[in-house]
Structure 1
Amino acid sequence: ENLIMIMLGRRDQWLRHVADPHDPRIERASLEVALRRSVASLLAEVVELVPLALIEELIELARRAAQELTRSGADSPIEACMALTGLPGTEPDDIAAWRGLAHLLLTSGQAWRQRVSANTGFAPPSSTTDKTLKAQRKAMKDRFAALVEQLDAAESLRERLAQVRELPELSYHDGQWQTLVALFELLRVASAQLEVVFAERGETDFAAVSQAALLALGLPEEPTDLALSLDYRIQHLLVDEFQDTSLNQFSLLERLTAGWAPNDGRTLFLVGDPMQSIYRFRDAQVGLYLRAWRHGLGTVELEPIRLRVNFRSSATIVDWVNRVFAQTLPRHEDVGLGAVPYAESVAFNPTDVASEVVMHPLLSPSSRQEAEVVVNLVRDSLHQYPQDNIAILVRSRTHLVDIFAAMKAAGLRVRATDIEHLGERQIVRDLAALCRALVHLGDRIAWLAVLRSPWCGLTLSDLHALTSGDQHSAIWELLQTPSRIALLSEDARKRVPEFSAVMSQALSARCRQPLRQWVENTWFALGGPACVGALRELDDAQAFLALLERLDVGGDLVDLAMLQAQLETMFAMPDVGAGEQVQVMTVHKAKGLEFDTVILPGLDRTAGSDKAQLLVWMERPRPTGDSDLLLAPIKATGDDTDAIYRYLAQLERRKAEHEECRLLYVAATRARARLHLVARVSWDGAEQQQLKAPVRGALLSRLWPGLAAQFSAAARTCRTNEDADNEQIDAPPRTYLYRRTLPWVGSELPAPVVPVDALALPSADTELGGMIEFDWATEVARHTGTVVHRALYRLAREPLQSWTAARVAALRTSFARELAELGVPEDRQGDAVSKVEQAVQLTLQDERGRWLFSAGHSDATTELALSGALDGRVVSVVLDRTFVDEQGVRWIIDYKTGSHEGGGLERFLDRERERYRGQLERYGRMMAELDDRPIQLGLYFPLLGGWRSWAYRR
């Protein structure tokens, strides 16, 4: 089931291949032709990699080894080299000879063979007493050793020969093919069933939208009416980031430009840098860029323009990148495997003495030492260049655990963009534990986590005392057992009764209110918000509570696994208060950005391996157009003999390795002035002169050909005492228990508002005339209105029945915080908070207010931003609320939070209508461009229960 689910999430990449059972491309013969073409491409690559000067010697030695093996009666792949007079070709019949050469040159571990024996066709000289023959055999072994010594640096050739040894048979066996056909049918049915589910729920996803777009346009040779209409209307197409185009997107562009002809006045402008193609996981195929560069897009011929000047980085950075990445990126272009050679840049900026590229080899295996190095680099940069910005870039978010901890310990605030998952934030973990405890009394882990949370704050020794000797009873049951409570510390005995009272009341309210309200009210009652250390934690809490709202089933949570899965995909909000001077993000997120200083930690770490899939597929774009489709079914558990599956997995690894090189290029070129590379390394030998090569899969291994000498030199000059460092770094970090102090009560509410002496007010009969209250014009009133709008926005997003007077009152602290952030003085906050609360309470009590926020309307949106051209200028507006009522009328509502005291309320509301008529008429004009329905405009005054509306006339 999980395998099918994973496949459905990527169906935009494979459905086009299997949707039509009669598609000739998925016939057995067609797939086997594509497989042969792929193998031929690999063999052609090997031919190119063998040094010309060594071909004659290699063939001579291979032929003699084959002859010796044949004479001895041995059975070896090398015997296929018997008749060679030159390098084998690239046809299927040549595979055996290539396997023979690979077997001769490589060990079973795929390393260059340093020693030969009779098993490889080199009889030992000691096996004969004939001096002439003995000399010949020794000479042959010496010649082979000399050959391998010259090949030792040819790493690419070694890798390709290793792949040659694993080449599959060029046809499917019957069992494979039957499995493949069955998977085709299974995936068709699963995809169709998903469409049924989408239709039932009124939902869709990106894959469905992209497929629908292609279907709507038809084929280039059979365009639909829509395609013909667009062909008439589209004059110019600009595509940015073209290097990350997928096959679906490429096909879409081909269909949009299918009818274009030379000199018809239309232009296609494709912009991209193939060295920055890093989105293979989204089916990006940089080979499509390379093909378009050489042969155009569909019927449209393109004029390639290469830009070489680097306007971002200093000359120091540009020169270093030119030198290192010329050795890192492949030397030859390969459309099928996405191999992009390096293209040199020219620096626009002059050499800067403050610009540098620094290696930081860490001879300790501790990741915490790496974190300390990163912290020191950030500190030094902030001290030396206080106006510059800094970025810490990583390949994987998991590389940042220790770095975040060290940053926090050092008091450095950083802005992390899409780094921390929401479920990793402590406040969310605590809230999730509270939710799980409420819905499942038997979840001991959740109950213990809640008892440990700041709202209760029991120590580990108290938790042990509570549960010791009883591994089966529910924690809630133990909390009701006096003999257990007596075992706790004095502090815990004070905390538990208060906690138990709140939880008892909460448990009795199960399914009597919405899930969010149930958990949130319990959190408030436990004093949860009082334990918040930063404002962003409240944002995280609100995001979690909003998630509960989406997962609510009758006031209960029936799918705990879904809650956990959602928390693992949602990102926590960044610390906006940290500013943007120090930022942490993945390399993918940093693409297109630039920073004065870039720090690249974790270069020694490897990425996780790809998970098994029901179907392994690969499309290899051909240089001149079209593409080859390669397919293999999932291998049986424990079966490592499926050569086609292994072969496709090898091709995917090669594509991934090429992309890793490009990922490093993107990371390095984000730096304007300073670049720091940080990696854990170890010495190769006791003499400590050279470092060991990084493990395969580490990003540093891609850079090693160009950086080995630099890293070794930096390591030799490293003056740290490794033993002392390890002793200090490996010391366990101190842990702290954050909890509420005792006794604890909620924040004191503001003093009640004392009404002004009635004698000082005008009588009800007094005509106010021009005495209109202009409280709306003050700064405090403006900020109060902002917070009212925010509160009504929240109200609109949730069912009205979830908004009780108690819940609104509980938000006073939140209102006060927002007002303080907007700059409302402390001595004015009390009145402002009361006004915000009053506005929300009155809205909920007002029949008109409840109608405005009713869930019965269609197409309802709050805070809708619109932009458009009015009277020759661009205008941007935000509609407080808009919806379509049961009669099909579009309503546009604007809230007004001004107050009015005294008589003449109706006259005041009439004047406000005239005052804001132009504003709402402008909203109506913009909406009329989008919606043909009748439009009504309305002003709502929540503090007054006031309402004015009129029809917009087109």
Structure 2
Amino acid sequence: MSGMHMNAEELLHLDQHSRQRALALESFIVEAPAGAGKTELLTQRFLRLLTTVQSPEEIMAITFTKKAAAEMRARIIDSLVMADSGKLPEAPHKQQTFQLGQAALAHAARLDWQLLDNPSRLRVYTIDSLSASLTMQMPLLSRFGSQPAISDDATVHYRLAAERTLALVDDDIYGGIARLALGYVENDVQKLTHLLVDMLGRRDQWLEFANRQDTQQLAEQALTHLVSADIHAAADAFPPRLQAVLMPIARYAAANLACDIPQALLLDWDNVLPATVSALPVWLAVCDLLLTDKGTLRKSVNVRNGFPATPESKPFKEQFAEVVATLQQTPGAEAALHRLRRLPHKHDAESWQMVAALAGLLNIAVAQLWLVFQQAGEVDFVEVSQRALMAIDSGDGAAPRELAMKLDYRISHLLVDEFQDTSPTQVRLLQHLTQEWVPGDGRTLFAVGDPMQSIYRFRKANVGLFLEVAAEGIGSLQLERLQLCRNNRSCPAVVEWINSTFRHVFPPRDSVVQGAIHYRDFVATRADSAGAGVMVHPLVAGTDDTTENMRICEAARIVEIIRHTWADKPGASIAVLVRARSHLETLVAEIRRHHADLRFQAVEIEQLAGRQSVQDLLALTHALLHRADRVNWLAILRAPWCGLRLADMHVLAGHERHRTVWSLLNDVRISQAMSEDGRQRCQHMVHVLAEALSQQGRMPLGRWLESTWIMLGGAQTLWQAGDIVDVEAYFRLVERLDQQGSFSLERLVQEMDKLFAEPDTQADGQLQFMTIHKSKGLQFDTVILPGLERKPANGATPLLLWEEVAIETPAGSSTELVAAPFIPKGSAAKDEPNPYSYLKLLEKERTDNEGARVLYVAATRAERSLHLLGSVKPNSKGDLKPASTTFLELLWPAIGGQFLQSADEPSRPVSCGQALLADFVPQLIRTAEADIPLLYIDSRHDSISSGEKRGDTPVLSRQASIEASIGTLAHKYVEMIAAQPDFNGWLQRLPGLKPAMMHWLRMQGHFGEVAETAAGQVVKLLELTLQSDDGRWVLAARPQAAAELAMGHMGDNGLKRLVVDRCFIENGERWIIDYKSTRLPEKADAAEIRKAASSFAAQLEGYAALFATEGLPVRKAIYFMTLGKLSELL
């Protein structure tokens, strides 16, 4: 079904008809384009079905993500609540939902379901949770026994199973298979391990075929069937009538050529060519006659093609030209004929030997994987889905009946969302769930999706399954095909551009084998908006422009678009969508360096390993675990907690390269050659790291690293709440790997690649950066799509490719596997058409077709405006041509003209890009002074202060009261604020520092709510200080100001160490101020505050004596942090 040739009125009529039919008690498959209101239709269908069943559990809705399942459940419940309110909504589609909801509630009331009080009776599953539920409820049939945990990422298990498999190379029984497979990959263990890991993750696609005995014969039949589809396509493009015209011409040409070339087969061509593999040699001879070596139809022929320059040849040449002209006017004819040259004949003996070896090796790997799963006590989703299939397909017909008994109800109605993203295993699950259903028995299947938005091939999704089910049904169940044609999201200007453009971007026809979907038009239903439409921003590079220059220029243009959009429509939602996360790197850097006011949320965009705080931690981990890792040891000296300058770095490590950095740090001679600043910073590092190295192995790895990092001052270098979350994620990862017994530096780096930095929690969400895949299902007022010229990442060349093919056998229809191993260099089959190259061609075509759909998904996120940015550079001839496999190539027919118009006006001078590049030089960031954090001062640093001040015990004794801990922590942060008196900046940072405060409090023995409450009190004390006039006056920057100034005093009992909280000179007077977190009544008057301050007079007199030799008038005061008040002692 297609609305490609319909006008708007016809499309709307088709849409209305489809929506009405979708509520009938029959089985349907619905195509719902972007913005069509698919979720609303599913909700209405669910409500309609509720009026027909005896129990709500008879209806089961299935989708693919937890988020989508939660949204569907919430939409159904909200619709029931809306219906229960009795208030009719204004929107027409909501009115229908309202009426269906009221009917459902009335039916539920008659049967006493109490749905609103028991919404858990509504069955909305993800496909994975459904499989898990089936195995849990049928443990014997699934052969699981007790339900294991399910791993979200089982790569570590796959790798261990692969390593154990290859470790059998010397085994008497299995070693031969392993050696044969290794020999095929030139004994590259790493390559074969990677293959096994990849294959184990997709074992649901090949496992049943790997165990068959008659694999070769059936696979050859499957290969024949697969290539026959291409021969049929060529036959359709080159019909019998045209063949008949070409036959005498071909015989004439063949007679004029040597008899030992393939074209000699045309000498006897006098019948229409059958669309069979046996006729392929003659088809190929016809291709040689009609096509050039590059696959284009010949514009002329000569003696080399069998047409000598004689009068006799002239009529044949003219007739040949007529045939070529007809083929040129036949869409797809040229490609269909050229494709025949890529078709393989059959597997060669060497390939089959390798396939057999790999099949045996894979069976061993699967057995090893099950042992790994048992030892780990967890499995992957593939195992769960396979066991679910096993549970409901026992082979004797009993499973469906047992399923109904176990579930305490029969499934009467299935609804499947996002059906375009199903995999073969998931379709088989649906087949088994519906295998006893027959037309007219009242049970229905309702599948809905948009094949134009099928973009998850990397998750094993196969859009061809949507086409197959639409055409053939599932099992014996036939589905009526419906099509929605409305777009309720985008403005007409955007929709019209999408329709006119993507008709030519998408393939001309659907193809199950090639994963091709032709374009389906839709109609905008919302009113147009001022400024709506699609804007193209061509960036044409100058002769000397580099790629990096153009990317920086593109980032600057994006910033202009954002600012212009918000100036035109304040608060508009904006999304910058990219094909790959790395495409945002330049833009993020540009905004952070020059446009910090643009707060954005980047969801799963920035890898955790890309954050500076985590990079420093990773370097620290490497350095501590590997003393000879010179690069990482130097890195931790440049980290903010040390911040050693380059001159001191050179003194330290510029000459003696044969020694470890740790050895150099402990060399007194080298230390004395450094600057005073560098020497102090290195002494701080040595002090902390010596203690850390002495504790190595005495505590869990994660705790050891975290304690070392805190002692170095790492926590003080975190400026944003997201930084704290990032470092906590790092420590959790280290802890997890350590507990699993699988920690290694290599594994740590591998796992880091899977983690992402926390998005900016202070951003309001109006500006978002994400990949196109992540944006699916979302919508934004404005969408910016940069990097149109960027190529997708090249996938690795797999060692094995396979394809499922349905064939007919004497026993009936079956699905078989065509598998082909990589053809190594030097093989005789390398340059000939072979199964591997053909399957690789299919993969490329499917990838290219999916690329067009990815672009469509990006464009259809826009409600009001879509901005397209791409750069192109003239080639050596001065021509502008987009690179292949890029979005720009797909859009070139629609937007290429605008690039050509800009060709004479480069986007900006080259110097602009060079200047911007200069701004990208990172600056050294470091703490103001090197000092072990107060949090870890030991008992040698005693204080004489009374009350909350430090006494004869360690500063942060674990036995200290919570009040003392609050005071100490507040003092330390006030000290840091005084060192960097950016009061507004600190006010913004404080809420995000609460987790770090809680962590420190836990280390002092305060846990749970006590630590959380205490941290909150510290934040309040600091906020009050920063917001009060007295607090800001006390902490303001001044000459000769000091915070936490330690001084020695000779008393009656010997030398004592005193710590003055705050002192400075103001107007020729020495001020001495002590902080108190003592609780006073919030409404204490001046007299009460003076009385409280006077109790500390003796303490401050002792401090004043320290400055007696200074000769300045001394003024003493107490700052009460709980009040934000300063009280001078008179």
**TM (normalized to structure 1)?**
0.74
Shift of 1:146: 8.1
More off after superposition, 295-304 vs 98-107:
98-107
Determine if contact 1:596/1:672 at 8 Å carries over to the other structure.
Answer: yes
Determine if contact 1:617/1:629 at 8 Å carries over to the other structure.
Answer: yes
Shift of 1:595: 0.6
Q: Residues 90-489 of structure 1 correspond to what in structure 2 (within 5 A)? A: 90-110=275-295, 118-123=303-308, 125=309, 132=311, 136=313, 156-169=332-345, 171-218=346-393, 222-224=397-399, 226-229=402-405, 232-364=409-541, 365=547, 366-409=550-593, 410-411=595-596, 412-489=598-675
Secondary structure of 2:449's counterpart equals: coil
| Distance in 1 between residues matched to 2:676 and 2:745, nearest whole Å | 35
Determine if contact 1:288/1:621 at 8 Å carries over to the other structure.
Answer: no
Corresponding residue number in structure 2 for 1:593 = 778
Q: Residues 455-854 of structure 1 correspond to what in structure 2 (within 5 A)? A: 455-552=641-738, 558-620=743-805, 627-636=815-824, 639=827, 640-641=830-831, 643-683=834-874, 691-692=880-881, 694-713=882-901, 715-716=902-903, 720-728=907-915, 731=918, 733-742=920-929, 744=931, 746=933, 805-806=1003-1004, 826=1024
Question: How many residues are treated as equivalent by the alignment?
Answer: 774
Determine if contact 2:506/2:852 at 8 Å carries over to the other structure.
Answer: yes
Determine if contact 1:231/1:257 at 8 Å carries over to the other structure.
Answer: no
Shift of 1:793: 15
Determine if contact 2:225/2:807 at 8 Å carries over to the other structure.
Answer: no
Shift of 1:808: 5.6
| Distance in 1 between residues matched to 2:273 and 2:1018, nearest whole Å | 78
Corresponding residue number in structure 2 for 1:857 = none
| Distance in 1 between residues matched to 2:1020 and 2:383, nearest whole Å | 43
Determine if contact 2:998/2:1011 at 8 Å carries over to the other structure.
Answer: no
Determine if contact 2:263/2:286 at 8 Å carries over to the other structure.
Answer: yes
Structure 1, unpaired ranges of 5+: 756-786, 796-801, 830-954
Determine if contact 1:227/1:256 at 8 Å carries over to the other structure.
Answer: no
| Distance in 2 between residues matched to 1:590 and 1:207, nearest whole Å | 26
Corresponding residue number in structure 2 for 1:78 = 263
- Judging changes above 3 Å, is the alpha-carbon distance between structure 1 residues 269 and 655 closer, same or farther for their aligned structure 2 residues? same
Secondary structure of 2:753's counterpart equals: helix
Determine if contact 1:14/1:617 at 8 Å carries over to the other structure.
Answer: no
| Distance in 1 between residues matched to 2:329 and 2:562, nearest whole Å | 38
Shift of 1:819: 6.6
Secondary structure of 2:256's counterpart equals: helix
* 1:566-625 Cα distance to aligned partner (Å, 9 max, x none): 001112221121121111111111111101111111221112222233421122468998
- Judging changes above 3 Å, is the alpha-carbon distance between structure 1 residues 154 and 598 closer, same or farther for their aligned structure 2 residues? farther
More off after superposition, 563-572 vs 704-713:
704-713
Partner letter of residue 23 of structure 1? R
| Distance in 1 between residues matched to 2:1005 and 2:691, nearest whole Å | 16
Partner letter of residue 289 of structure 1? F
Determine if contact 1:370/1:678 at 8 Å carries over to the other structure.
Answer: yes
Shift of 1:633: 2.1
| Distance in 1 between residues matched to 2:389 and 2:557, nearest whole Å | 51
Determine if contact 1:242/1:270 at 8 Å carries over to the other structure.
Answer: yes
Shift of 1:489: 4.3
Shift of 1:117: 5.1
| Distance in 2 between residues matched to 1:141 and 1:684, nearest whole Å | 37
- Judging changes above 3 Å, is the alpha-carbon distance between structure 1 residues 646 and 7 closer, same or farther for their aligned structure 2 residues? same
- Judging changes above 3 Å, is the alpha-carbon distance between structure 1 residues 507 and 334 closer, same or farther for their aligned structure 2 residues? same
| Distance in 2 between residues matched to 1:49 and 1:753, nearest whole Å | 95
Secondary structure of 1:680's counterpart equals: strand
Secondary structure of 1:238's counterpart equals: strand
Partner letter of residue 581 of structure 1? Q
- Judging changes above 3 Å, is the alpha-carbon distance between structure 1 residues 486 and 745 closer, same or farther for their aligned structure 2 residues? closer
* 1:12-31 Cα distance to aligned partner (Å, 9 max, x none): 6444534466537x621111
Determine if contact 2:221/2:807 at 8 Å carries over to the other structure.
Answer: no
Determine if contact 2:416/2:447 at 8 Å carries over to the other structure.
Answer: yes
Shift of 1:56: 6.7
Shift of 1:674: 0.6
Shift of 1:468: 2.4
* 1:166-223 Cα distance to aligned partner (Å, 9 max, x none): 2212x22222212111111110110111101111121111111111111111167734
Between 1 and 2, higher relative CO (CA 8 Å, sep ≥ 6) is seen in: 2
Partner letter of residue 569 of structure 1? K
Shift of 1:162: 3.9
Does residue 44 (structure 1) correspond to residue 232 (structure 2)? The answer is: yes
- Judging changes above 3 Å, is the alpha-carbon distance between structure 1 residues 345 and 213 closer, same or farther for their aligned structure 2 residues? same
- Judging changes above 3 Å, is the alpha-carbon distance between structure 1 residues 120 and 190 closer, same or farther for their aligned structure 2 residues? same
Shift of 1:530: 1.0
- Judging changes above 3 Å, is the alpha-carbon distance between structure 1 residues 748 and 433 closer, same or farther for their aligned structure 2 residues? closer
Structure 2, unpaired ranges of 5+: 1-188, 542-546, 937-942, 950-990, 1028-1130
| Distance in 1 between residues matched to 2:1020 and 2:394, nearest whole Å | 56
| Distance in 1 between residues matched to 2:1008 and 2:630, nearest whole Å | 30
| Distance in 2 between residues matched to 1:34 and 1:794, nearest whole Å | 64
- Judging changes above 3 Å, is the alpha-carbon distance between structure 1 residues 381 and 10 closer, same or farther for their aligned structure 2 residues? farther
Determine if contact 2:602/2:760 at 8 Å carries over to the other structure.
Answer: yes
Shift of 1:238: 1.3
* 1:782-839 Cα distance to aligned partner (Å, 9 max, x none): xxxxx9xx989999xxxxxx9974476999999777678899964699xxxxxxxxxx
Partner letter of residue 657 of structure 2? Q
- Judging changes above 3 Å, is the alpha-carbon distance between structure 1 residues 743 and 520 closer, same or farther for their aligned structure 2 residues? closer
Corresponding residue number in structure 1 for 2:1036 = none
Shift of 1:11: 3.6
- Judging changes above 3 Å, is the alpha-carbon distance between structure 1 residues 486 and 313 closer, same or farther for their aligned structure 2 residues? same
Secondary structure of 1:270's counterpart equals: strand
Partner letter of residue 923 of structure 2? Y
Determine if contact 1:601/1:679 at 8 Å carries over to the other structure.
Answer: yes
| Distance in 1 between residues matched to 2:324 and 2:763, nearest whole Å | 57
More off after superposition, 380-389 vs 50-59:
50-59
Corresponding residue number in structure 2 for 1:948 = none
Corresponding residue number in structure 2 for 1:773 = none
| Distance in 2 between residues matched to 1:87 and 1:426, nearest whole Å | 70
- Judging changes above 3 Å, is the alpha-carbon distance between structure 1 residues 622 and 704 closer, same or farther for their aligned structure 2 residues? farther
| Distance in 2 between residues matched to 1:78 and 1:729, nearest whole Å | 61
Corresponding residue number in structure 1 for 2:129 = none
**TM (normalized to structure 2)?**
0.63
Shift of 1:524: 0.8
- Judging changes above 3 Å, is the alpha-carbon distance between structure 1 residues 720 and 602 closer, same or farther for their aligned structure 2 residues? closer
